Amino acid sequence: MNLCTPSEHTFSRRQILGAMGSGAACGLMNPVIANDIAKNNKQVLFIWLDGGISQFESWDPKPNTRFGGPFRTIPTALPGVHFCELMQRTAKIADKLSIIRNLETQDNSHSAGVPRILRGDPDNRGVIYPYFGSAVSKLLGPGESGLPPYVWIKPGSGGFIPKNAGFLGPKHGAIAFGEGKPPENFLRPDSISNDEDEIRNELRQRISDRFSQRRQPAANEAQSYVYDMAGKLMKRGELFDTTKFLPKDLDRYGRTQIGEHMLVARNMLEAGVRFVQVTNYGWDSHGDHFNASASLIPKFDAAFASIIEDLDERGMLDSTLVIAMSEFGRTPRINGHHGRDHYPEAWSMVMAGTGLKSGAVIGATDAEGVFIDAPHSYDIGAVFHTWYHALGIDSVNEEFYNADQPLPIAHHEMQPIREVLA
């Protein structure tokens, strides 16, 4: 028996617009309904390379310069555009990517840079803003799958991470899966039947209802929400079953931590999870940078190129926004430990998928990669506006609410990067 997947029961943006243009949706699909369906189908894959991937050894190499380093460059699928030779697989699919080479952000420390990048640096309104995953959870919801809208696949431990939601409240926090696996005792034991499980959940709900009568509604809502989401995930144990990955997929993605985590992310996206974050650590290469890059970047390259290829082949890239970035880049100057330090002044990121121009290269740095060599640079606030617009969200006019306080969802003085939007 051939089983269909959730994606087969949804429309991509291209399909919707095509149907409208041909008249096939006459009487059934007006522009407002089409936009709502397309928006409801959007997903995000957010790849976070914690510590700072070097733009020199990836998206913006500077060969044969005093800061260029020892690696050569290779041509990509985009004429005239080169990547570092460590990006062999990704270079071949560069025509599916959107590359921004003129990022100029503010903070050169992890403690300030990470939350600033992940929150989009909105204007200070006296509240803690949500991370991008929590914001998408709030604005787009869980979608038709009913699965948790914000899932985080990471090394180390997992669990529920409410702090990412900021003022939106714990309901929109991340459910983290350490090593891509569910928490211990998360999945229902085989010794408990479906009927017994339903009875247990009914009892839990009655106790929760009694408990909620003397507690604040927001806390109760979050608690019930987490239980409900956990219950739905408990029924989807196959999403975490790495023993079912095909050998050819393991070979393509790489038999590495990031390769396996990206395959779990593919499962999550195919199941309909709205926002999937994959985090990879170890990129803070203050010492022995070039050996570290020679180890780390090919692993990322294989996993990243493979998931772009698979999403494209499955018709999901039209509705999925893929983002790969860090909290900053690395310095042009090579320090005394053969390393590169933190550098927010001129760095790069890469995106692909829904709402973006494929094969776009935005901005440039000078010949040695020290300064932005473009009419202007972009801070993370503009990048947030761009992500929202790619997902069909009007970030200029739409607002969050903190109780009765309206708040902009992205920096009010910035605008989307129009050159990269489709």
Tokens 């990471």 sit on residue:
154
> What's the rounded mean pLDDT across residues 394-415?
94
> Residue 11 has what pLDDT?
44
Q: pLDDT higher for 89 or 215?
A: 89
Cut 0.85: pTM above it: yes
Domain residue extents for the chain? 1-41, 42-420
Distance CA 227, CA 229 (A): 5
| Percentage with pLDDT > 90 across the chain | 69
Q: Is the pLDDT of residue 6 over 90?
A: no
Q: Which of 40, 80, 20 is nearest to 354 (CA)?
A: 40
Q: How far, in Å, CA of 222 to CA of 244, rounded? A: 33
Higher-confidence residue of 11 and 238: namely: 238
- Mean pLDDT score, 285-290: 98
In the predicted model, is pLDDT for residue 330 greater than 90?
A: yes
Residue 113 has pLDDT above 60, yes or no: yes
* Predicted pLDDT at 144: 87
pLDDT band at residue 36, thresholds of 50, 70 and 90? low
Q: What confidence score (pLDDT) does residue 39 get? A: 62
CA 43 – CA 144 distance, rounded (Å): 12
According to the model, what pLDDT value does residue 374 have?
Answer: 80
> Using the 8-state DSSP alphabet, how is residue 372 labeled?
B
Token couple for 116: 């600033």
Give the pLDDT band of residue 218 (cuts 50, 70, 90). Answer: low
Three-class SS state of 278: strand
Span 181-198, average pLDDT: 75
Integer CA distances (angstroms), 128 to 137, 193, 229, in order: 16, 43, 24
More confident residue, 331 or 6: 331
Distances (CA, A) of 377 to 56, 103, 170, 204, 382: 18, 6, 34, 53, 10
Using pLDDT thresholds of 50, 70 and 90, give the confidence band for residue 37: low
**DSSP state at residue 147:** S
Give the integer Cα–Cα distance in Å for 163 and 222. Answer: 12
Pair of tokens at residue 346: 């001129």
End-to-end CA distance of the chain: 39
Please state the rounded mean pLDDT for residues 34-46: 77
pLDDT band at 231 (very low <50, low <70, confident <90, very high): confident
pLDDT at residue 277, as a whole number: 98
pLDDT at 38: 59
Q: Which residue has the higher pLDDT, 341 or 28?
A: 341
> pLDDT of 195-214, one tens digit each?
887 787 778 777 777 776 76
Q: State the residue for tokens 């009010």.
A: 412
How far apart are alpha carbons 33 and 124 in whole angstroms? 36
pLDDT at 150: 95
Confidence at 236, pLDDT banded by 50, 70, 90: confident
Helix axes 13-22, 31-40, angle to 10 degrees: 160
Instruction: Choose from 121-135, 208-222, 269-283 the range with maximum mean pLDDT.
Output: 269-283
Confidence check: pLDDT of 229 > 90 = no
The predicted structure's pLDDT at residue 28: 45
Segment 350-376 shows an average pLDDT of 96
**Over 70: is that where the pLDDT of 35 sits?**
no
CATH class of 42-420: alpha beta
